[in-house]
Amino acid sequence: MRIDDRSLKGTSGMNENALLLLPAPMEGHGVYNRNSEVQATGLIPALPLLERAAREALLPPASEPIVIADYGSSEGRNSLRPMRLAIWELRRRDGKTRPISTVHTDQPGNDFSTLFNMLASDPDSYLRDDPCVFASAVGRSFYEQILPCESVTLGWSSWAVNWLSCRAAPIPDHVIGTLSGDARVKAAFRRQAAADWRRFLTCRSRELRPGGRLVMVTLAQDEMGQSGYDSLYDQLYGALLDLAEARLITQQELRRMAVVTFARSREEWCAPFAEGGQFAGLALEEFQIFDAEDPLWAEFDRHRDAGVLAARRAAIFRAFAFPSLAAGLDGGLGSPRTGEFFVRLETAMAARLTATLDQGAKPIGCLLLVKVGA
Ligand SMILES: C[S@@+](CC[C@H](N)C(=O)[O-])C[C@H]1O[C@@H](n2cnc3c(N)ncnc32)[C@H](O)[C@@H]1O
């Protein structure tokens, strides 16, 4: 995690001198690829929307390549299936010879080496059987315009837009802003999430060709305001308190730690489109909330070993959340204590999860957007 000393003025309005913390990329060296089966399963309900988007998107003139952008790819394994599906549908429409450019984008610190090695060697790589597909990457925040104007025909993003651009406010009593007991902290995160969503849409609209399509799948709240992960995050915070009590981290470090992810409600996803059905030249064509299948719970139903379920869940949290937490250590993510911090926190979280089984629904939102003006 990088620390930016811009003031909070105009963002939360509650602490002008607080530091803004940015989310860290996922754990590298293949750890995220090996520990993201929940995300891999959760994106499946959005695949029919992606297939439809690839079928209906307006293609560029025949002399130009077709660009597919993948926003927030991490190490890329979970992008293989959606990319393969999109390429298959585009080939079906347009033949086998047109160059297709796949652009995987993520934060600058993302482990892109693992992504390219995986694309070269994974038996499921979409590069294997199509010599006219060309993969590249962009290491830049998707809260900026990161591709040329009107260059993208198809956009895809899974489990990424729930990450906010920064920590909206210090969180005195949790690592998730909306789980704080302080109403002002919750409100600051809600405002940040609303602003970030509009910023993301504005940037993508610039990049999409008229008639292009963008499909997204990520965390959402159900109609009761539950994200499905609240009790797991409570256990993560409890595990951090355990580490603080054992003096493995200081109180100051604990107070700096945050995971800046936010589950939007239906109203929050749809708000920019509420007036006139369009925002920044994008129309929301489909919006659905599903209860994602939990593959770890399905396994647990077979083995009935709470310790195994807890260890898998802790490993998955380690891969996506621990780097952001470690950035709160003195010395940041590069601290020599990071390795031990990861191991101790994973153990403490697994111990807590073993004692508190959670089978709550895991709502996810799927969106299909169209760039108007074709
Ligand atoms: C949970 S991973 C999802 C990876 C993959 N798409 C999947 O479905 O498993 C979230 C990814 O979003 C990326 N991300 C978060 N904020 C970002 C930003 N502002 N710009 C670009 N990528 C971002 C993270 O670095 C991370 O790789």
Rounded Cα distance between 132 and 115, Å, is: 19
Examine the pLDDT at 341 and tell me if it is beyond 90: yes
d(CA 351, ligand 1 centre) in Å: 28
Q: What is the pLDDT of residue 374?
A: 65
Q: What is the pLDDT of residues 129-155, one digit of tens each?
A: 999 999 999 999 999 999 999 999 999
CA 265, 206, 3, 79 dihedral sign is positive
For residue 70, give the ligand 1 atom closest to its CA.
6
Q: How remote is the C-alpha of 261 from its chain's centroid? A: 8
Using CA atoms, how far residue 13 sits from 174, 179, 188, 189, in Å, is 20, 19, 8, 11
| Helix pair angle (338-355, 230-245), 10° resolution | 120
Verify whether ligand 1 is closer than 6 Å to residue 262 (CB atom). no
Q: What is the pLDDT of residue 224?
A: 84
Give the count of alpha carbons within 13 A of 194, CB side only.
13
Verify whether ligand 1 is closer than 6 Å to residue 320 (CB atom). yes
Q: What is the pLDDT of residues 280-315, one digit of tens each?
A: 999 999 999 999 889 999 999 999 999 999 999 999
Q: What is the pLDDT of residue 210?
A: 98
Closest CA to 130 of 71, 68, 59: 68
Could you tell me the pLDDT band of residue 15, with boundaries at 50, 70 and 90?
very low
∠26-38-34 over CA atoms, to 5°?
50
Average pLDDT over residues 199-224: 96
**237-275 burial string, b = 16+ CB within 10 Å, else e?**
bebbebbbeeebbeeebbebbbbbbbbbbbebbbebbee
Average pLDDT over residues 71-75: 98
For residue 217, give the ligand 1 atom closest to its CA.
8
Verify whether ligand 1 is closer than 6 Å to residue 200 (CB atom). no
Could you tell me the pLDDT band of residue 180, with boundaries at 50, 70 and 90?
very high
Contact 256, 343 (CB under 8 A): no
Q: Average pLDDT over the chain, rounded to whole?
A: 93
Minimum mean pLDDT range among 121-125, 140-144, 198-202, 298-302: 298-302
Could you tell me the pLDDT band of residue 18, with boundaries at 50, 70 and 90?
very low
Residues 6+ apart with CB under 8 A from 108: 139, 140
Question: 46: which 2 tokens?
Answer: 């959005």
Could you tell me the pLDDT band of residue 19, with boundaries at 50, 70 and 90?
very low
For residue 157, give the ligand 1 atom closest to its CA.
6
Q: What is the pLDDT of residues 218-269, one digit of tens each?
A: 999 988 888 889 999 999 999 999 999 999 999 999 999 999 999 999 999 9
Could you tell me the pLDDT band of residue 197, with boundaries at 50, 70 and 90?
very high
Residues 6+ apart with CB under 8 A from 197: 161, 264, 268, 269, 271, 272
Contact 178, 167 (CB under 8 A): no
